[in-house]
Amino acid sequence: MITCRSCGKQPAAQIIGLCSDCLKKAHTAELVLTIHASRLKYGLPPSPPRNKNGFPCRYCANECSLGEGQTGFCGLRINQQGRIKSIAPEKNFVAYIYYDPLPTNCCAAWFCPGSRERGVNLAVFLYGCNFDCLFCQNASHRQIGQGHFLSLEELVEAALAPQVRCVCFFGGSPEPQLPLAIEASQEIKRRSKRLIHICWEWNGGGSPSLVRKAAEISLETRGTVKFDLKAWTPELGQLICGVSLERTYENLALLSRLFPQEDLLTATTLLVPFYLDDREVENIARFLASLNPYFPYSLLIFHPDDRLKDLPITPRQQVKACYEAACRHLKRVNVGNLHLLDRAI
């Protein structure tokens, strides 16, 4: 952690160099590229490709335009002879799976009835992401070459094991592999003789039609759809995530209108020290309350990771201020990762 290079007063992450207020004022496309150039060491482009003669990928809000042989921002989609394909063989994910005993550490566990069932959750970790969050808590998703191919059938068979009560797709984020994940979910639902909850933990920046299909599956199986709301201010969001957050909020509003059923949708915000403050949280909470004042919202205490390892655990004062700000608008607010507070300042 350093002192802001602009105002010389407030703390800042070293990779960013600016405090939250100065960062918002200094926002430029060049600054975003500079901050996210660290992606290059993983063989990933620092921004969504925009090849004038390329072919479009429509899986997420980035809508990369890829020239021949070019890979998308997520690292998973490639232009091969004029067709946008996955780098994995047909009907294969780049992923790994494991069984997580219930109750699990799922972000919806504080209110989801499924987390109180006896059995296990099938956790599906999907490599790749359409965001590039500097504070990613699962940064290994960028190491796509270390991922292995998992067939749709292998995933379905694992989900149909007798002890499985729910399946959670996360990562990274599901968006770059969402069509195949939807297909696998539909197959699980079709072949299972019992109810298996299908859940999604994503950044929410996917194609609206795909996001809707995924949410329908969760509604039918009594699962949950978790949106990770990274920030409220557009400039701050793009600088810390590398891309626009606009589609995330549009998709959340869309699903809220289409599926007003209680406890299908939920949201989280990671309280990044000195950046995701009570002003950001209050604006997010106000937005969520406009959808439903009982919308379940969880504030997650930050653990130093990825490119923000120089920041501390979220200070207690920031947690308190953010919690109070959210409670001014929402009836149900949770604080996750409470065990980390023992090490907070």
92 DSSP β-pair partners: 151
Give residue 29's pLDDT.
87
Give residue 344's pLDDT.
63
Ranges under pLDDT 70 in the chain: 344-345
Q: Are 185 and 214 in contact (CB under 8 A)?
A: yes
User: In the chain, what are the domain boundaries?
Assistant: 92-343
Give residue 345's pLDDT.
66
Q: Helix, strand or coil for residue 267?
A: strand
121 DSSP β-pair partners: 100, 166
* Residue 60 structure tokens: 């997420």
Classify domain 92-343 at the CATH class level. alpha beta
Cα 334 to Cα 336: distance, rounded to the nearest angstrom: 6
Give residue 116's pLDDT.
84
pTM of the model: 0.94
- Rg (the chain; Cα; Å): 20
* Residue 150 structure tokens: 């998992």
